[in-house]
Every structure is written in structure tokens, then in C-alpha cells.
Amino acid sequence: MNKAVFLDRDGVLNHEMGTYVWEPEKFVVIEGVAESLARLKAAGYYLIVVTNQAGIARGLYSATDVQACHAKLQAAVGGLIDALYYAPGHPSVSESLRRKPDSLMLEQARARFHLDAARCWLVGDRLRDIAAGHRIGVRGILVGPDEADGYQPHVADLRAATDLILAGG
């Protein structure tokens, strides 16, 4: 059985713009992310992005746009990410168990990579990210400025979350 760090995208890997981000030129990877991912990979973690992309269901952009951003992300981090899952649905259009706080994206990755959920982590900047992890028994670390009802552990960014994970929690 393997271990992984599940990564929310916007606000964890790239700057949260307060709106949907689908144009590669507006998709800006946060400083230090490549280094953090390299440290986690060296410690034996698979790196798996799980991102809600409801803008697809709402007709704002396409899967091709999402893939262009993910190509930019992979280029910025030296191709260290093992898989990128996105949930295209939105409750106003169609129900989907992929969309966080539901956990289908994580369950798919768990099966594909033979993951032991108890050895995995999720890093997200919203409580719905944390909730998706908890549904399958994955511990969550909240990052960023959102107070999120006082959830703990809560640290500044992926760099600090990486320190926490590598310290053994």
C-alpha cells in the first residue's frame, strides 16, 4: 500500500484569484511550490491534484482550458505531479460525486495508486477540501487566509504544510 498527498489547486498550488482561473496567463504558480512538491516526492508520497472546476458545467471554459493550465502547472514543477483529477460539475447543472466535499476523485486515486488512506494527507484552502479527505479517512491540513471556523491544523501555505507532513504530523 502506498501513500499520497492530495492537493487542492487554486489557493494551494496557484494563486487564488477570487474567480475561476482557466487562462494559462492568469494561472500563476505560487513561489516555493515546486520545492515543496519535490520534498514530498522524495519522502515517498504520490502527488495528486483534486480540483473542482464547475466553470465547465457553467459553460465558462472547457476541459481543454483546464488541461492547458495543468500543463503549465506540470511544467512549473518539473512534472512531479502524478495525477490531476478535476470535477467539471456544478449543483445548478448536474449532481456529481466527484465535486468536493464529495470524495469520488479521491476514491478513484486511492484505487489507481493502491493508497492507504491512513498514511495520506490532503492540503486545501477550504473546508470542503478537508471534508472530502475526511470522507475516506485522510487527514487534512488547511492553508491560506480563510479562517474556516477555526479548523486545525491551519498553516500559511504548502511550504508550512510540507514541514508538518514531513515532521510526522
Tell me whether residue 65 is one of the annotated catalytic residues: no
86 near 53, Cβ under 8 Å? Answer: yes
Question: Which is closer to Mg ion, CB of 21 or CB of 117?
Answer: 21
- Cα dihedral sign, 98-18-72-159: negative
Q: DSSP for 55-73? A: TTTTTSS-HHHHHHHHHHH
The CB-of-44 to Mg ion minimum distance in angstroms stands at 25
- The three grid cell numbers given for residue 40, joined into one nine-digit string: 514530498
Is 102 annotated among the ligand-binding residues? Answer: no
Report how far residue 115's alpha carbon sits from residue 110's, in angstroms, rounded to the nearest whole number. 5
157 near Mg ion (CB under 5 A): no
Residue span binding Mg ion (CB under 5 A) among the ranges 8-16, 20-28, 36-44, 67-75: 8-16
Question: Binding Mg ion by CB under 5 A: which of 3, 4, 11, 106?
Answer: 11
Report how far residue 157's alpha carbon sits from residue 143's, in angstroms, rounded to the nearest whole number. 5
Residue span binding Mg ion (CB under 5 A) among the ranges 3-11, 23-31, 56-64, 115-123: 3-11
Binding residues for Mg(2+): 8, 10, 125
Any idea which residues carry the catalytic annotation? 8, 10
Q: Which residues bind Mg ion (CB under 5 A)?
A: 8, 10-11, 125
